[in-house]
Each structure stands twice: as structure tokens, then as C-alpha cells.
A = this chain, B = another copy of it.
Amino acid sequence: MSYEREPTVQGGVSLPRGFRAGAARAGIRADVDKLDVGLLYSEVPCAAAAVYTSNRVKAAPLLVCQEHLADGRAQAVVANSGCANAATGEQGLADVRQMASLAAAKLGLRPSDVLVASTGVIGTLLPMERLRDGLSRIELSAAGGGDFARAIMTTDTRSKCESGRCGHEGEEYTLWAVAKGAGMIHPNMATMLCFIATDAPLAQPYVAACLREAVDASFNMIDVDSDTSTNDTVIVLANGLAGGEPIDAGHPAAGSFRAALTGCCVRLAKAIVADAEGGTKVIECTVEGAASPVDARRAAREVVRSLAVKTAVYGCDPNWGRILAAVGNSGAAMSEKKAVISISAPEGGCVHVYRQGAPLPFDEAQARACLSAREVHIRVELGLGEGAATAWGSDITEEYVRLNSAYTT
């Protein structure tokens, strides 16, 4: 069986075999009326892996996740919104350990089998009494994934849930993933979180390699505002209840699983960009013909990161000089005499604006039409080699500035 994507239904995606989830309102922020603490649980131990922010300031829950994942195994995730538990010192670390212990006691697990994630305001302590109370009220069920997705939202305007199925010769695996994040950094809330659950029997350390590959092609290729948060975390739990031989690189279903995992992550990454604070469009930049894959990634990310490009796309301005300058600024090898740039929209229309050292005459009305679309595609061909990559970014609007400058502490 090849890779299939399940239709996205907000909150309606069922969990893989053996997983249950739920959420409650603990009232971590007294002023926000929403679910704010969630639990994801597997009936049996999982092969697990995680990737974290590259920020040198790492929130307390990330440090505890690293400890608890030293053995490559976990069985549950407890997550909260409203408080990032970052820059909170020794007390913050003690609070994370207590949060893991509370969840472990509720589920009958060892604390070291529980992973923890937080998102929200930096520099404030978790209200442990309210958290304890909220946790005690969570009821787990196979239909609770939607509530879990909602519990981790901060400035997100919609929950983000994806799933996929994959397999090989009668063996079928299910993949479920939720993410949050309306930007790498938010008004007092700074986090991109993603949790992935699967019943596939993944071997360690193969699960970690699959996750790294999927994250590099998805979350590591998006940009809202150039700021990398202190809490970014992506976790995968694989409980193996689908049965069958452990999957590693040599397994016939390995390719199908990796495609499903990467597909889920790319769709969630695009959903984060589409829900960016103040954003009105998704800018997709594909760079081809780069001297290396690393150069292609650098160039594509820099185009979608550039404020000059973001504001031009917002204003429907076919200002290709900014795209060329961003590529030149990315550190990727390039020659303006070989580069080719085009702008298009998925609904149709493609305008070639620059070719090999010289501007091309183009129809401005058509270019503006492409740039008016909800999704704008920029293609850059560098003519130097085989490196290719795609990145996604939001545009920057007055509303972004308004949201991020509001006095909120």
C-alpha cells in the first residue's frame, strides 16, 4: 500500500491504535477561556524521538524531555499553553518534574516515560495548583485528539491536525499529528509545537532519523518572523500496535512511512504559515539548480524570510529585485548571470521576471494577479547544479505589527 493522506477534518481525525488523548481548562491564564492542558497517552511503551529549538535559551520542559528520552522510549506527553516555562530557573525545572510526576501518577507510569511541553509567556512560573487540578479532570479517549490540539493553541486561530496511512503488503500503519504556532514567536507566546503518534512498529534509532528528515523538509523550512523560539519541540511516539516486523531503513515499508511522516509535517508546517499572526498569504519559494542541497535550502529560506519580499508580496508588488537580493544575501553560491526568476499562483498564471543577468519585460497586470492569490509561488533557478529545496513564509502586514506591539505583559 502506498502513502495516502486522510482528509483533514478539524479535530475529527482519529488517533492510531492504542493511543488516547484528552484536555481540560486549568486556567493557566486567568484571562483566557480555553482548554490549556492536554494529555496524549499510549497503552504500551513507544519508540520515541524529539527535535528541539536551536535557541541557546531552552525552556525547562525541553531539558526534561531530553533527560526522559535518553533511553529512546516514552509513553505519554503532557502539554500546556499559556505559560512557556522558559527562563524560570530552578523553580521552573522543579515544576516540569512535578508536571511529569502528576501525569505519570494519573496514568500509572514512571515519570521518566512522560514527556512535557509548554507554550506561552516567557519568564512566568506555572501555576502548579491549577495545573494539578486541570490534569486531574482530563478524561482520555480515542476521540480526544481534537481537544488535545485545541489545548496547545495560543494565538492560533484554528487547530492544526493531520493524519496519514501507509504500509506494505497488508500491513497498514496510521499516523496522526497535531501542531500549533502562529509564528516562530508570538506576543508573549513563543512556540511551535508538534506531536506525532503512530502505531507503526518503528525501530530505534530509525524513528529519530525519520523525524529529523521530516522536520528538515517541513518545520525547518518555514518562516513567519525570523525569530526562533525557546520552546520549539516536535515529538513522535511510535507504539507498534499495528504489529509486524520492526521498521528500519531496510524494511519494505520504510519509504512509504517516511513519505507519510514528511507529508504530514509539510502540511502542518504550511498550516502554521497560513495561520501566521497578521498574515494574509503563503509565500512558497522553490529554489532549483543550486550548487548543493544546503545552498538551495539557504536561498529558499532567505527569500521567504526577507522583510522586503514579505512586504512586496503583501502589497502585490512584482519587485523581483528584492527576490534576487535575498538570494544574493543568503550565502548560497549564485551568479546573477545564470539566475532565472518566475512568480506564479497555483490557480494559474506564471510570469517570468528575470533571466540570466537581465530583467524580462512582463505583463504587470498578470504579475499583480499572481501576487493577489492566497498562495504565491516564487521559483528561482540558479543554473549551477542539482540542489533543490522549498520553503514557506507568511507575508508581513500592519496587523502583524499591531498584534506584536500590543502591551501584553
Q: Which residues of A contact B (CB under 8 A)?
A: 54-58, 84, 86-91, 121-124, 185, 188, 190, 225-230, 305-308, 311-312, 314-322, 324-329, 331-334, 336-337, 354, 357-359, 364, 368, 396-398, 400-402, 404-409
Bound complex: CA of A190 vs CA of B327, how far in Å?
15
Highest count of chain B CB atoms <10 Å: which of A325, A326, A396, A408: A325
Inside 8 A of A305's CB, which chain B residues have their CB?
Answer: 226
Query: How many Å lie between the Cα of A75 and that of B216 in the bound state?
Result: 52
Would you call B190 and A325 a contact (CB within 8 A)?
yes
CB-defined contacts of A185 to chain B, threshold 8 Å: 307-308, 322, 325
Q: List 18 A-B contacts (CB under 8 A).
A: A55-B329, A56-B329, A56-B332, A56-B334, A123-B320, A185-B308, A185-B322, A226-B305, A227-B322, A227-B329, A308-B404, A311-B405, A314-B405, A317-B407, A368-B407, A396-B401, A398-B398, A401-B401
Q: Which residue of B lies closest to A309 (CB)?
A: B227
A319 in contact with B188 (CB, 8 Å): yes
Closest B residue to A328 by CB, please name it.
Answer: B57
Q: Please state the number of chain copies in the assembly.
A: 2
Let me know if B408 and A325 touch, CB within 8 A: no
Q: A357-B90, A405-B317, A407-B316 given as contacts; is B230 within 8 A of A57 (CB)?
A: no
A325 and B230 form a contact (CB under 8 A): yes
A315 to B407, CA, bound (A): 6
Contact B325 A55 (CB under 8 A): yes
CB atoms of B227 and A315 under 8 A apart: no
Q: Kindly identify which residue among B58, B333, B406 contacts A317, using a CB–CB cutoff of 8 Å.
A: B406
Contacts of A354 in B (CB 8 A): 87, 123
Give the 9 A-B CB pairs with smallest separation, nearest first.
A122-B321, A315-B405, A57-B328, A311-B404, A89-B357, A398-B398, A56-B328, A55-B328, A311-B405
Residue picked from A58, A316, A328, A334, most chain B C-beta under 10 Å: A328
> A358's closest neighbor in chain B, by CB?
B89
A122 partner residues in chain B, CB cutoff 8 A: 319, 321-322, 324-325
Whether the pair B321, A228 counts as a contact (CB closer than 8 A) is: no
A327 touches B227 (CB 8 A): no
Residue on B nearest A408 in the bound complex, by CB: B317
Q: In the complex, which residues of chain B have a beta carbon less than 8 angstroms from the beta carbon of A409?
A: 317-319, 364
Contact residue among B357, B398, B407 (Cβ-Cβ distance under 8 Å from A401): B398
Q: Complex: how many Å from CA A227 to CA B122? A: 28
Q: CA separation between A383 and B331, bound complex, in Å?
A: 32
Q: What residues of B have a CB within 8 angstroms of the CB of A56 in the complex?
A: 327-329, 331-334
B402 A336 Cβ-Cβ under 8 A: no
Q: How far is the CA of A206 from the CA of B198 in the complex (A)?
A: 65
**In contact, B359 and A123 (Cβ under 8 angstroms):** yes
A229 and B325: CB pair below 8 A? yes
Closest to A406 in B: B315
How many angstroms from the CA of A230 to the CA of B396 in the assembled complex?
22
User: Is B308 within 8 A of A87, CB to CB?
Assistant: no
A280 CB, min distance to chain B CBs, angstroms: 11
| Bound form: Cα–Cα A329–B91 in Å | 23
The smallest C-beta distance from A19 to any residue of chain B, in angstroms, reads 33
**In the complex the two chains form, what is the Cα distance from A359 to B56 in whole Å?**
18
CB neighbours (8 Å) of A325 from chain B are 55, 57, 86, 122, 185, 190, 227-230
A56-B329, A122-B325, A227-B308 known, 6 other contacts, Cβ within 8 Å: A57-B324, A57-B334, A86-B321, A88-B358, A315-B405, A316-B407
